[in-house]
Homo-oligomer: A and B are copies of this chain.
């Protein structure tokens, strides 16, 4: 079942590796079939170079395995909660990419300092609060999803397709599995550029809000002028 989605989730997982965002097995991508309410996700701890599309695991929106011989990624409960809450999204990526993790560990959000950021994230990339001991004990992966959702109160997940989980690392999303990987790539680049910028000028200020709006809209707005009719793809 869901052969096409499995193929695209499989490919998105490999793109994550090709883009240099994955060390060892630290990363996973999922995609959802909204009609059937089923999620396809990377199996847990399987090396990327021995993975094939048939190993992708199908789970329902409670995170229960519906098909597949492998255990789904240990982050599955976080993925399914985000799919339930953010109705517009079709794919989710989780990585431990270096610079995004540095911000997550430093417990700092990433303000918009330039147009690279504005092309992908419409404002400051948010940071969750830390989980409490009780939350970790009771349902760690589920509560990771819940603090993300809590932080997104009043934030549109469609125009802010990423978050930093405090002390952990980034989750990103998009209309497809592929797009969620692109946003993971953009987040890592944006985090690296923000760090370097602060090193050059620790008093540098945020990008003018009218430039932020212009860049975000020209790539994502209703009258987007970037790309071809079907918009941009990951290279």
Contact = CB atoms under 8 A, between A and B. Distances in A.
Interface of A: 17, 22-26, 43-50, 70-71, 74, 96, 98-99, 101-108, 113-116, 119, 130-131, 133, 136-137, 140, 167-169, 182, 185-186, 189, 192-201, 204, 207-208, 210-211, 214, 218, 225-228, 231-235
Given A115-B167, A198-B200, A71 B210 contact: no
Contacts of A234: 24, 47
A25 B113 contact: no
A100 to B, nearest CB: 10
| Identical chains bound together, number | 4
Contacts of A197: 102, 105-106
A169 B25 CA distance: 25
Contacts of A23: 185-186, 189
A226 B164 CA distance: 22
B103 A200 contact: yes
B140 A214 contact: yes
